[in-house]
Structure 1
Amino acid sequence: MLSVCLLFLFSLEAFAQNLTVKHKLKIISAGLCLLPFFWACDGAKESASPVEAQVENLLKRMTLREKIGQMNQVSLGNVDELAVAVENGEIGSMLNVTDPELVNRLQRIAVEKSRLGIPVLMSRDVIHGYRTIFPIPLGQAATFNPQLVEDGARVAAIEASSDGIRWTFAPMIDVSRDARWGRMAESCGEDPYLNAVMGVAMVKGFQGNSLDNATSIAACAKHFVGYGASEAGKDYNSTFIPERTLRNVYLPPFEAVAKAGCATFMTSFNDNDGVPSTGNTFILKDVLRNEWNYDGMVVTDWASATEMIPHGFCKDRKEVAEKAVNAGVDMEMVSGAFLENLEKLVKEGKVSEKSIDNAVCNILRLKYRLGLFDAPYVTTGQSVNYAPEHLAKAKEAVEQSVILLKNDKNVLPLGGNVRTIAVVGPMADAPHDQLGTWAFDGEKSHTQTPLAALREMYGDKVQIVYEQGLAYSRDKRTDGIYKAVSVARKADVVLAFVGEEAILSGEAHSLADINLRGAQKQLIDALSNIGKPLVTVIMAGRPLTIGDEVEKSDAVLYSFHPGTMGGPALADILFGKVVPSGKTPVTFPKMVGQLPIYYAHNHTGRAPSGKETLIDDIPQEAGQTSLGCTSFYMDAGFGPLFPFGYGLSYTTFNYDKMALSAGKLKKDGTLTVTVDLTNTGKYAGTEIVQLYVRDKVGTVTRPVKELKGFQRITLQPGEVKSVRFDLPVSDLSFWNIDMKKVVEPGEFTVWIGTNSDEGLSADFEVVD
């Protein structure tokens, strides 16, 4: 923008060379007078573009009060009061209006009765589906299939936009490494790269090929930034993330979606190092605007602006408005401090009108890009919810998200020798709870549960007997367990569906204990003692500490809350029509005391190198140094229950002949890594081949492994395929001891394997 302005002035000066000094000054002065036109919207990429011209023209006609009104977002309340505020130009966006008739009524007031006719932006939390509910985002991440994730967001956008919703608050790309935190369910797990890939996929799905398409909805990257590192896994808690860790771990997913065109960003609830995100100039201006050149819109989280008062960062609502706007916030969600105080703050010189203009430009730009000025109304009477193709895509997402954690003696898939199946457990027929958290508009009447699906799809082939055992996941009454065991004794195989109700995960639903709740452990104990094959299917919003249950089960399937089509997908997996391929998007701890736990940790100076001596193996009166003085828990050891990227199949895969294109590369080079993958089993199946790298020595310590790529490879029995990864050396960059993002020369190790803990490896070197 500045270059355009300077070029304009230089052109005027050149033109004026043959004129008198007096005329030169007049012409240059005229040019300077035009600079505010160029500079009114700092976020604009091209002031000459049609959208920017429209934004500038509208901004010049707005009063200060009308500008501040655009910065105000409210939730659905008294409709008559809202109508008056809309007509007065005091509302820029509304939350939670899902009735298309009401959307049109309010929009008509905004467009036809307000002074400037600026449409209202209608928004809603559409997180993993609107009516057709897909697996929770953590489950979608388990697919390691960004195209399928994009397709799911597209379905959600089509359904939500049919009711007039044009803005959603997803994707949530908080790197999440502590399963006590309930909002892990809404994330894509612990890895920055996986969060980035899945976040970009969701943005593409929500926003479609063009924002102004009637079926597109604006995406919102949240929560900016570091929210997933809340201390002790307790929601809304403080974080302490040093800048280097912030840049190396927590910012990369947000940078990826910003570059992918994510329309909006949302500030997070937490304070980091004492500064709440909603008032954090460093992340909102220095990083987001100045480093990334982001021209989208920034909104607070629900009342996170006024929550800076209980944080102790602001003394009152007036200071809230001052600090938030000066930090770079454009729109305030529901708490109303902007509308209440910004006029006074401008008059007092504490907030400049230029800052207001910048915020309003970002808001208006989004509305123009969405096409709201040309097409503000929604067509009523549409019927796109639960379309057959939507349900089919949701089922496919579940099929690829389910993780096979154990399968002793190939109990699964269920074969022809199975005549009677006992279905037990509180999650076998829980249509509300299998939808998971953040499914505001999902309808349990459309949910297809495992029990219903097994009966409908396979009831003509096997006898299915059902005894719930426990009424719900927290049920502590054990009288029903006897009935479940009695039914199980008469069956050839037992399917136990356990886990978490939807209410046990999500926002404000943190847990200090992540074991199975209620009497579910007693149920699994009782079923494991009757001598029948026990298949445990767990539906939950987070990884649970299920070591005992895994040990007592013959097979274990893990399904992060699967949504509307969970039942049919699980039924087909159980009977082998679908071969599981999901992988853990987070590390599963053995005990809650291991949290936070993640694969990409740094090595300590005392990393374990040999066998751990656990607490029950320690001899009495052992010497203080007899355990080797290494970094591990005496009661849990060093490793997790299941590592990141783990998941079995009904078939088996072999990795062989790993090769590198070069042993030494320059910083502008690309390393090609190949490996032969063979399906050595009896079933066609899909393996998720994973590429990891370690920088052995750096100016700061580096993680033991970092995910740099993955591919879903489907093979027939006996089929061999050469799998190729092209790894640009630039992808090895990190923020070094001088806080600069660089690739440092040195030695590296690269792995290709089936999870973060197993694989073939080779070394290479990067040179200057």
Structure 2
Amino acid sequence: MKRLPVFGLLAGFFMHAAIAAESPALDDKQAFIDSLIERMTLEEKIGQLRLISIGADMPQPKILEELQAGHIGGTFNSVTRHDNRPMQEAARRSRLGIPIFFAYDVVHGHRTIFPIGLGLASSWNLPTIARSGRVAAIEASADGLDMTFAPTVDISRDPRWGRTSEGFGEDPYLVSEIARTMVKAYQGESVAAPDSIMASVKHFALYGAVEGGRDYNVVDMSPMRMHQDFLPPYRAAVEAGAGGVMVALNAINGVPASANSWLLRDLLRRDWGFRGMTVSDHGAISELLRHGVAQDGREAARLALKAGIDMSMADSLYRDELPGLVRDGEVEIGEIDAAVREVLGAKYDMGLFHDPLRRIGAAADDPQDVDAESRLHRAEARAVARESLVLLENRAQTLPLKKSGTIALVGPLADSPLDMLGSWSAAGVAAQAVTLRQGLTAALAGKATLLHARGANITDDPHLVEYLNFLNWDTPEVVQDPRPAAQMIAEAVAAAERADVVIAAVGESRGMSHESSSRTSLQIPPSQQALLRALKATGKPLVLVLMNGRPLELGWAKANADAILETWFSGTEGGHAIADVLFGDYNPSGKLPISFPRSVGQIPTYYNHLRVGRPYVEGKPGNYTSQYFEEPTGPLYPFGYGLSYTDFELSHVSLSSAELRLPGTLQASVKVKNSGSRDGAAVVQLYIRDQVASVIRPVKELKAFRKVMLKAGEEREVRFDIGEKDLRFFNAQLRQVAEPGEFEVQIGLDSQQVRSAAFILR
């Protein structure tokens, strides 16, 4: 890239200084922005509404030209100071010197990659989740980034949806708590701080409820269900101060989100009081033509702007169509100004008007190697990843393993650094990820023998391999071993027969749980199933280490494996973290944030389903009840489930009162005891069941949880306050109410095995 002439830099500086001198004091945000808008041309205003993808929308020389003309408001997908600095300097040389911002999809880490969203949620530990977000913000801001398109807070109850991996599961309360946590972690004490980045929560709204779990599909849902189950996490993020909202690609009750004025103006801004910036998803405005609600690009741009889309991602339509729409009176200049005001306000809040280079810094301070090991936060990644692992099965105390003898490690995911990172791994470098093989090798050094065999490919279906490798990655998603499947299995069996125990790393490649990677099956691919059956036939203890971005069908695994450890995609330090758990250096404490169905035919399977008139009751005849007759009703592994290397016992539930009169509260308490021989952490979960209401209510709803560390033999009382907020719901008139009547309090270590007590709300 050519260096800019010194004269150009100085001219730009003095021009910016001169115009700034005409503006009100920077400390008066509203007056400053109003004054700036008054001096902007229509072209400059429209330029602020354009978010451009580096390298995809136009070549960099053209971007520099457009920036200097004031025709771009922000960019995304450039992730180094060296690349961002020339673009910011070009923006500063524009007539008004308005800075741009730099954004990126920092979803579960930036350079240090943490577990995927489902993994983070499995920790059920908000400080742990906050640590991942804070590290991500520190690393992203150090690369000159100002904003992340995160957190992803879409409620997902259909694991066929590929983007289930990005979110935090099925439950409104848990996802809402994590949404608040991540927003605050990204934005810190002040979003203007040099080590903070602005959160742009996504995908607004209801994206996780797409029909059939098929990405980009429609959503048709009652308003009551929207407000009760699917909207709360977005609202929680807004209330936590998220500066941005990314608008979803799906339609809602017949109206695409990008043209939905009820969603963006009535609900988001009027009802929720959002004062930040809205951004379309990639190409969403042009997609209004394919949705069939816009005849041409002109109509699409008009619909999006009037609905409330401030900034157009990967834009061409705002640039091409808004000038004519304003000229012809179809869009008022006041509507343009309102959108520009939000974009400028976001830049102001990020501190860019005070210092456009506050996150980019001086060239002399640029890191010599952006991928340097010293820039990573490995200790934090390892600590977070250990808490994300969920022990699903552990027959005869197979785990933890001893660091002795001979261990066979097999499976296509045993030594795959790219897959450790998971989807949307930002600036993470696969070569810096610790694979399971590397983690086990380090843990066993000088103590035991580790044998390794691939055993199988991720899939032997050439169509799937072609599809996965078509995804827009820097390297192929799936690299096939060309040997015959029988030969690979034979090699793995030979290793297993020489070993004392077999660890099989199986599941999905990261591309199988990604945007546009919806599945019709939740099974482990056939190539890997054949491997597992051959390993089982050896008679050696079989430990499954699952790597996946969604719940899988695990009926065979549950019946045949001696232990199952769900590791999701655990990030940069995943191999070390998994080894820590397998060998007992860390006692697993993860709990499922999403139910695992027995088969794809049970979808949707989620714990807080609505009550029905003919419920199935375990242990009673199933005829004429709400059930599937081919297999047991209910999930294979329920929401909130996860084992430990120790045992926990709960006492009966005690209530401070049998009655609750508002606005008062009552207290529910339970004693939890570590009755095993190891120290460990228990997640105590509080659920409430509204026994009778004006509308059908769920069988139970999570309302609070506590993660408590207990030494072996230790007992502690855990208390929960219950008040009006825990009893409210949206009634048929969409009013939040707490209706008098009987409520059941349930406290357990998962959503199914609970102790209960009851009280009356007067």
Alignment TM-score, normalising by the size of structure 1: 0.90
Q: AA paired with 1:54? A: F
SS in 1 for 2:290: coil
Counterparts in 2 of 1:471-550, with a 5 A limit? 471-474=457-460, 477-550=485-558
Matched, 1:67 2:45: yes
Counterparts in 2 of 1:256-271, with a 5 A limit? 256-271=236-251
Once the two structures are superposed, residues 572-627 of structure 1 have per-residue CA deviations (whole angstroms, 9 ceiling, x without a partner) of 111101000001110001100111211110111111124367xxxxxxxxxxxxx5
SS in 2 for 1:266: strand
Correspondence for 1:3: none
Correspondence for 1:592: 600
Deviation at 1:87, TM superposition (A): 1.1
Match of 1:406 among 387, 393, 397: 393
SS in 2 for 1:219: strand
Correspondence for 2:717: 722
For the 8 Å contact 1:132–1:385, the answer to whether it is kept is no
Matched, 1:193 2:173: yes
Matched, 1:363 2:343: yes
Matched, 1:691 2:686: yes
Once the two structures are superposed, residues 274-319 of structure 1 have per-residue CA deviations (whole angstroms, 9 ceiling, x without a partner) of 0000111111111111111110100000011111110011111111
Aligned length: 706
Give the distance between the partners of 1:218 and 1:131, measured in 2 at CA.
Answer: 17
Deviation at 1:384, TM superposition (A): 8.7
Matched, 1:278 2:258: yes
User: CA 1:527–1:612 in 2, change beyond 3 Å: closer, same or farther?
Assistant: farther
Counterparts in 2 of 1:172-191, with a 5 A limit? 172-191=152-171
Deviation at 1:249, TM superposition (A): 0.9
The structure whose Rg is larger is 1
For the 8 Å contact 1:689–1:711, the answer to whether it is kept is yes
SS in 1 for 2:608: coil
Match of 1:700 among 695, 698, 706: 695
Larger deviation: 343-352 or 275-284?
343-352
Match of 1:647 among 619, 642, 658: 642
Correspondence for 2:472: none
Correspondence for 2:732: 737
Matched, 1:435 2:424: no
Once the two structures are superposed, residues 148-188 of structure 1 have per-residue CA deviations (whole angstroms, 9 ceiling, x without a partner) of 11111111111111221111100010000001000000000
Matched, 1:122 2:102: yes
Deviation at 1:746, TM superposition (A): 1.2
Counterparts in 2 of 1:738-753, with a 5 A limit? 738-753=733-748
Correspondence for 1:30: none
Matched, 1:680 2:661: no
Give the distance between the partners of 2:697 and 2:746, measured in 1 at CA.
Answer: 16
Correspondence for 1:619: none
Q: AA paired with 1:534? A: L
Correspondence for 2:11: none
Larger deviation: 156-165 or 707-716?
156-165
Give the distance between the partners of 2:162 and 2:568, measured in 1 at CA.
Answer: 13
For the 8 Å contact 2:435–2:575, the answer to whether it is kept is yes
Give the distance between the partners of 1:299 and 1:699, measured in 2 at CA.
Answer: 38
Give the distance between the partners of 1:747 and 1:385, measured in 2 at CA.
Answer: 59
Q: AA paired with 1:409? A: A
Once the two structures are superposed, residues 315-358 of structure 1 have per-residue CA deviations (whole angstroms, 9 ceiling, x without a partner) of 11111111111111110101321111112212222222111111
Correspondence for 2:322: 342
Matched, 1:634 2:621: no
Counterparts in 2 of 1:661-672, with a 5 A limit? 661-672=656-667
Give the distance between the partners of 2:640 and 2:678, measured in 1 at CA.
Answer: 21
Correspondence for 1:80: 61
Deviation at 1:766, TM superposition (A): 1.0
Give the distance between the partners of 1:604 and 1:133, measured in 2 at CA.
Answer: 43
For the 8 Å contact 1:521–1:549, the answer to whether it is kept is no
Correspondence for 2:477: none
Correspondence for 2:331: 351
Once the two structures are superposed, residues 244-289 of structure 1 have per-residue CA deviations (whole angstroms, 9 ceiling, x without a partner) of 1111111111111111100100110100110000111111111111
Once the two structures are superposed, residues 13-45 of structure 1 have per-residue CA deviations (whole angstroms, 9 ceiling, x without a partner) of xxxxxxxxxxxxxxxxxxxxxxxxxxxxxxxxx
Correspondence for 2:440: 454
Deviation at 1:110, TM superposition (A): 0.5
User: CA 1:550–1:213 in 2, change beyond 3 Å: closer, same or farther?
Assistant: same
Give the distance between the partners of 2:750 and 2:374, measured in 1 at CA.
Answer: 36
Once the two structures are superposed, residues 525-577 of structure 1 have per-residue CA deviations (whole angstroms, 9 ceiling, x without a partner) of 11112121111110111110011012110000001110110000111111101
Alignment TM-score, normalising by the size of structure 2: 0.91
Deviation at 1:389, TM superposition (A): 7.3
Give the distance between the partners of 2:371 and 2:529, measured in 1 at CA.
Answer: 42
Give the distance between the partners of 2:486 and 2:514, measured in 1 at CA.
Answer: 28
Give the distance between the partners of 2:144 and 2:267, measured in 1 at CA.
Answer: 33
Deviation at 1:729, TM superposition (A): 1.9
Deviation at 1:239, TM superposition (A): 0.7
Give the distance between the partners of 2:375 and 2:126, measured in 1 at CA.
Answer: 22
Q: AA paired with 1:415? A: K
User: CA 1:352–1:305 in 2, change beyond 3 Å: closer, same or farther?
Assistant: same
Matched, 1:373 2:359: no
Q: AA paired with 1:429? A: D
Counterparts in 2 of 1:545-624, with a 5 A limit? 545-611=553-619
RMSD: 1.6
**Identity of aligned pairs, percent?**
41
User: CA 1:305–1:662 in 2, change beyond 3 Å: closer, same or farther?
Assistant: same
Unaligned runs of 5+ in 1: 1-46, 614-626
Correspondence for 2:290: 310
For the 8 Å contact 2:156–2:164, the answer to whether it is kept is yes
For the 8 Å contact 2:104–2:426, the answer to whether it is kept is no
Give the distance between the partners of 1:196 and 1:348, measured in 2 at CA.
Answer: 44
Correspondence for 2:34: 56
Counterparts in 2 of 1:206-221, with a 5 A limit? 206-221=186-201
Deviation at 1:648, TM superposition (A): 0.2
Once the two structures are superposed, residues 188-237 of structure 1 have per-residue CA deviations (whole angstroms, 9 ceiling, x without a partner) of 00011111111111111111111111111111111111110111100000
Q: AA paired with 2:494? A: S
